[in-house]
Amino acid sequence: MRVGTWNVNSIRTRVGRVVDWLVREDVDVLAMQEIKCTEEQFPYDAFSEAGYEVVVHGLNQWNGVAFASRLPVDDVSVGFDTAPGFGKALEDGTLPKEARALGVTVADTRLWSLYVPNGRELENAHYPYKLEWLANLAAETRAWIAANPEQPLALMGDFNIAPLDIDVWDIALFQGKTHVSQPERDAFAAFEAAGLVDVVRTRGVEGYTYWDYQQLRFPRNEGMRIDFILGSHAFDELASDPKIHREERKGDAPSDHVPVTVDLAVDTEDEDDRPMFL
């Protein structure tokens, strides 16, 4: 089973690219972030025609996460229980929760599509929100693994953190900015402490996953590595052939992120029933 993650930066803008890539790369399950649409606005037909079921969590034109799978999807979780909210308080005094997390189970493998808050600036209210969001997710992750250590589990998505200096093109330019601050890196390390493994980096795959549209960042390879597949030990034992699909940053109307994939040695009952494409 091939699984992947991709911050698509507006699925309605890039639906053709995403579906073509899914079919071409023989991807079974894709976690998407920044779909930037509501559930009603999602372009389901293009996916269904290619043989994919879609699960969506989108509230407005911002954020949004989704899964596309050509295998049966079970146990859908919209958000995680302790996710903090952000913004103007609701009538009951609580803060509205954003569309940033979606969990599904496919072939007995638990997968999460995550769009971690950006943080914006170190002095911005979005920064402590980001740290709280990450801390609460790490605590949830520890509980999930403790409750079912044998089930493969992966957190996939745009973490908006560059955990190592080599994950940005020039660390000196990032001093005093988000994505590389020590609290953010500590928050990322908490997932590893909880029992997750970067299944792509640990297999020797290097490279960036994001290049800003401005200032010719991609031609100059001035990128960042902020998109990850973090798997439990049960997931890691099944993983092989990880890839960062850098070529998807080229061409017409690309996302500013590229997909990341990994293969899993799991049994899928529907393998013989997959649609064929010419």
Domains of the chain in start order, with CATH, are 2-272 (3.60.10.10)
> Which tokens in the block code for residue 162?
């560059």
CB 57 within 8 A of CB 64: yes
* pTM for this entry: 0.95
CB 139 within 8 A of CB 165: no
**Region for 119 from its dihedrals, namely left if φ exceeds 0, alpha if ψ lies in -120 to 50, beta otherwise:** left
pLDDT by 10s per residue, the chain, length 278:
999 999 999 999 999 999 999 999 999 999 999 999 999 999 999 999 999 999 999 999 999 999 999 999 999 999 999 999 999 999 999 999 999 999 999 999 999 999 999 999 999 999 999 999 999 999 999 999 999 999 999 999 999 999 999 999 999 999 999 999 999 999 999 999 999 999 999 999 999 999 999 999 999 999 999 999 999 999 999 999 999 999 999 999 999 999 999 999 998 875 444 444 33
Q: What is the pLDDT of residue 275?
A: 46
Question: Is 210:226 a contact under the CB 8 Å cutoff?
Answer: yes
Which pLDDT belongs to residue 268? 86
Phi, psi angles (nearest 5°) of residue 192: -65, -40
Tell me which residue of 263, 274, 240, 236 sits closest to 4, measured CA to CA. 263
DSSP state of 171: G
Q: Which residues contact 227 (CB under 8 A, 6 or more apart)?
A: 5, 6, 7, 157, 158, 159, 209, 210, 257, 258, 260
253: tokens are 């109307």
